[in-house]
Structure 1
Amino acid sequence: MKVINQLNSHATQDGDGVNISRVAGFDGKFLDPFLMIDELKSDDHSDFMGGFPPHPHRGIETFTYIIKGGFEHQDQMGNKKAIRAGDVQWMSTGFGVIHSEMPLADAKEGMHGFQIWLNMPSAEKLRAPRYQDTTEHPAPAHKNADGVQLKALAGSWQFAEQSQVSSLQDLAANGMLADVSVPAGKQFTHPPLAQSKVMIYIHTGAINTAQGGPVMAGSLLILEPGSEIAFSSQTGAGVLILAGEPLKQPIAHMGPFVMTTQGELQQAVRDYQAGKFGAF
């Protein structure tokens, strides 16, 4: 596995004072087609109790994955779902969505989860929004003889001679995501993926690669296109694999809106203010 860049997450806040760690890529230089990786990881209820009250989006896909705790999602399309540990939620916002994500009352043991933003092709940014989650069709997982597990969060994966096909199959830019758990002293290997942008984010423990280590939690490794994925862990680790095909298009970003031009961005604000996203 050849790592061509390493980015580290930084502490910030979003929503109603929610403390998160973020890797942002709104300049399009490193993460394309992904825009942002937000990780919420805390056992202190005050870090996330404010949640994310109603807010709009246009032009992106939001991908939520919960490892511990949970949120209740609600949107103007009529979706209202409890997203709990192990669940995945995907929302292709298109023309416009207004939604909220508030912590569930039983999330007293803490919270660990992600919201990942994926850019949409310019020609699709104004299509109708779509929503899907895995509450009825859980993300499939397979564990090999060493106890190494791959959970297919989105897309179709082949691991340890087993196919893992997620019910989430239509992400923009051929996006795919998986969560890999590696016990202490074990190694994960996977053949090169078809997508030319492949990244791994360490969310638990630390890993070692052929280029060195340990690489600690909160680090994002960007791989050389066509590289196999191979790493080990002395202490045990949890890792997200993110893959997609770069869109190589301009990015105009302001808050919850991501468009291609400044004119489109200004139109998004006008449309939201005019109530064209619908009533929450």
Structure 2
Amino acid sequence: MKVLSQFSAKAAMDGDGVNIRRVADFVTTKFDPFLMIDEIKSDDEQDFIGGFPAHPHRGMETFTYIRKGGFEHRDQMGNVKAIRAGDVQWMSTGFGVVHSEMPLADAVDGLHGFQIWVNMPAKDKLRPATYQDTAGSASVEVTNDTGASLKALAGDWGFKDQPLISATIQGLAGEAAIADLSLAPNAEATLDLSQHEFVALYLYQGDLSKGEDSQWSYHQGEFLVLDSQSVIKFKADERGAGMLLFAGKPIREKIVQMGPFVMNTQAEIQQAIRDYQEGRFGYIA
């Protein structure tokens, strides 16, 4: 695989004292159509017990994927859902969403999950909000002969010479697609993602070989922007590896971001703040 850019996740805190690792770019938009990847991974509940009390969003999409533990989601649209291990959730916030995400009381074995922000094009930033999740339904997954498994979380993928289509989550902004690729010890995987303009990965477990020289140079917590037109080959060492894969079509619009709002101008940001303060986003019942 050919790596175009390499970024390292940084320790951060969000919500009510939740410790996370974050990769974000709201300035150069090198991740376009993606904006941010937050990872929560801890067996100590003090790192996440405060959760994310009610807060707003406008002009972007949130995509949540849980690998261990879980959250209860509530929003002003009336959705109340437990999002557990293996589940994904997608909100296209549009004009505005108010939601909360609080740890489930029965999730006692720690928490590992991700929230990914996807930009929305200007023409869609004020459309009505929509919500989807996969709670209670299994994601589409295929495993090759070496022990590499690809789980389609959103959008369409190809693996082991067969198409994988997410059964529930389709229609993300920027034609975004997201998958979870797990490599058993010494497993290998080859992907042709040349149909996508943007391709990247976030390595959440293990190391990856840089190439034929077998030097292990890409490590846990790194976000790699890849050349989508080159065949992408992965090889894990004896510990195995896990990564999220990202693909999409850049939106190529200037953005202005302030906290949970992602718009195209400063005036639109100020309008979002006024609309939220005046209750136009609605309230969680």
Q: Same fold (TM over 0.5)?
A: yes
Distance in 1, matches of 2:32 and 2:79, equals 29
User: What is aligned with 1:36?
Assistant: 36
Distance in 2, matches of 1:229 and 1:126, equals 37
Q: Once the two structures are superposed, what CA deviation does each residue of 1:22-76 show, in whole Å capped at 9, x if it has no partner? A: 0011113321111100000001100000000000000000000000000000100
Supply the RMSD in Å over aligned alpha carbons: 1.1
SS in 2 for 1:108: coil
- 16-25 or 187-196: which moved more? 187-196
User: What is aligned with 2:3?
Assistant: 3
User: What is aligned with 2:151?
Assistant: 151
User: What is aligned with 2:21?
Assistant: 21
User: What is aligned with 1:226?
Assistant: 229
User: What is aligned with 2:184?
Assistant: 183
Q: Once the two structures are superposed, what CA deviation does each residue of 1:52-108 show, in whole Å capped at 9, x if it has no partner? A: 000000000000000000000010000000000000000000000000000001221
Question: Amino acid of the residue matched to residue 260 of structure 1?
Answer: N
Distance in 2, matches of 1:140 and 1:24, equals 28
- 10-19 or 151-160: which moved more? 151-160
SS in 1 for 2:108: helix
Is this contact kept in 2: 1:94–1:126, CA < 8 A?
yes
Distance in 2, matches of 1:29 and 1:93, equals 20
SS in 2 for 1:50: coil
Is this contact kept in 1: 2:62–2:92, CA < 8 A?
yes
Q: Is 1:214 aligned with 2:217?
A: yes
**C-alpha deviation, 1:163, in angstroms:** 2.4
Task: Give me the identity figure in percent.
Answer: 55
Question: Amino acid of the residue matched to residue 77 of structure 2?
Answer: M
Distance in 1, matches of 2:231 and 2:17, equals 39
Distance in 2, matches of 1:153 and 1:115, equals 13
Q: Which runs of 5+ in 1 are unaligned?
A: none
Instruction: Map residues 96-111 of structure 1 onto 2, 5 A cutoff.
Output: 96-111=96-111
Instruction: Map residues 165-204 of structure 1 onto 2, 5 A cutoff.
Output: 165-166=165-166, 167-204=168-205
Distance in 2, matches of 1:86 and 1:209, equals 29
SS in 2 for 1:12: strand
Displaced runs of 4 or more, over 2 A: 211-214
What is the TM-score of this pair, normalised by structure 1?
0.97
**C-alpha deviation, 1:136, in angstroms:** 3.7
Distance in 1, matches of 2:116 and 2:126, equals 20
SS in 2 for 1:263: helix
Instruction: Map residues 98-137 of structure 1 onto 2, 5 A cutoff.
Output: 98-137=98-137
Question: Amino acid of the residue matched to residue 221 of structure 2?
Answer: G
Question: Amino acid of the residue matched to residue 268 of structure 1?
Answer: A
